[in-house]
Structure 1
Amino acid sequence: MSSLAYPPFMKYLAIDYGTKRVGIATSDDGGTMAFPLRVIPNSKKLVEDITEICRLERIGTIIMGKSHNFKNEPNPLMRDIIPFAEALKKKTGLPVLFMTEVFSSQEAARVTGENSGNDASAAALVLQSYLDRANISGTKSPGEAKL
């Protein structure tokens, strides 16, 4: 297991997991604002790719969207997301938190005006939602599920 050192500040990385593409967003150093970073292919080296991004960006915590439908039922994609998140936690040594999200990709398309390639924007929406909740509650752990 590789362990990434925690920075003196808290910078976050969010993942919008998809079967073909994965959107990545990061926060500012203070953990108050989210920014789309990039979209990467969902390949066999996804865990390694994200681990490298975490190292380069000096990430302290990873946030993932907990994919649910409008009835608040887990989407089938969660069967892939859970083992991926566990592998990522093991490889990076970083905490992986889940933030409930519904239709973040559709909202990203509405905000950006694009119908495709908005995975990083969807990740930024999930991350900003997490950061807003964390900053309102005065803690960077607003009660979401932790792996």
Structure 2
Amino acid sequence: MGADPTRVPGVRALGVDLGSKRIGIAVSDLSGTIGSALTTVHRSRSRRHDHAEIAKLVRDEECEVVVVGLPLSLDGSHSHAAKAATKEARQLASVVGVPVEMYDERFTTVTAERGMMEAGLDAKQRRKVVDKVAAAVMLQAWLEHRRNTWPGDASQRVVPL
């Protein structure tokens, strides 16, 4: 049997939720179907060092694309935070060695918190994992968007870099 042209080809993706103190990291499975929390990179004083840590994860996990959360305002406009994230995503793109895309991350932290509360985690437990869980929520949304818009063109992405 030949390949199904309507099926989205799998992609190994790394999801990144940029925070001021921590960077949440998630990764998709090999088929590009499920995003899972991976780790948290604690911000150092050097953005270059932080980006090198992410680049190492891209290599270690054999990712083909990095998806960075875009913190849009509730009305969809680019806030100061979104502009800062876009600037950092461009810097990251220069070191990771794979394409970098940005994807709307509105409500990911709220969704992550709600899910962890429903799972019975207390506030201290939630603080330890919320960043990587939020990255997984964002990455899962990107994977589903990609699947639902295939064979969409690049203009359907929120912000290709």
Q: What range is the shorter-chain TM-score in?
A: 0.7 to 0.9
**How far apart are the structure 1 equivalents of 2:43 and 2:96?**
18
Structure 2 counterpart of 1:146: 160
Residues 47 and 84, structure 1, Cα contact 8 Å, conserved in 2: no
Instruction: Determine the structure 2 residue equivalent to 1:106.
Output: 110
Q: For residues 62-83 of structure 1, what are the alpha-carbon distances to aligned partners after superposition, in whole Å with 9 as ceiling and x for unaligned? A: 1011101222232322243122
Are residues 81 and 31 of structure 1, via their aligned partners in 2, closer, same or farther at CA, if it must alter by over 3 Å?
same
Residue 54 in 1 paired to residue 58 in 2?
yes
By percentage of residues, which structure has more helix?
2
**RMSD in angstroms over aligned alpha carbons?**
1.9
Q: Structure 1 unaligned runs (5+)?
A: 1-7
On the 8 A contact 2:17/2:69 being kept in 1, the answer is: yes
> What does 1:67-106 correspond to in 2, within 5 Å?
67-106=71-110
Contact persistence 2:26–2:132 (CA under 8 A): yes
In structure 1, what is the equivalent of residue 16 of structure 2? 15
Q: Which moved more, 1:89-98 or 1:65-74?
A: 65-74
Q: Which moved more, 1:58-67 or 1:93-102?
A: 93-102
Q: Which piece of structure 1 moves more, 82-91 or 110-119?
A: 110-119
Is the CA contact (8 Å cut-off) linking 1:47 and 1:88 kept in structure 2?
yes
TM-score, normalised via structure 1 length: 0.86
Distance in 2, Cα, partners of 1:53 & 1:100: 22
Structure showing greater Rg: 2
Give, in angstroms, the shift of residue 42 of structure 1: 1.8
In the alignment, is the contact (CA less than 8 A) between 1:11 and 1:29 conserved in 2?
yes
CA offset at residue 105 of structure 1? 0.8
1:73/1:9 CA distance change after superposition, 3 Å: closer
Equivalent-residue separation in structure 2 for 1:80 and 1:46 (angstroms): 15
Q: Among 110, 131, 134, which residue is 2:146 paired with? A: 134
* Separation in structure 2 between the aligned mates of residue 65 and residue 141 of structure 1, nearest angstrom: 20
Greater than 3 Å deviation, 4+ residue runs: 139-142
Is contact 2:13-2:32 (8 Å) kept?
A: yes
Identity among equivalent positions (%) equals 26
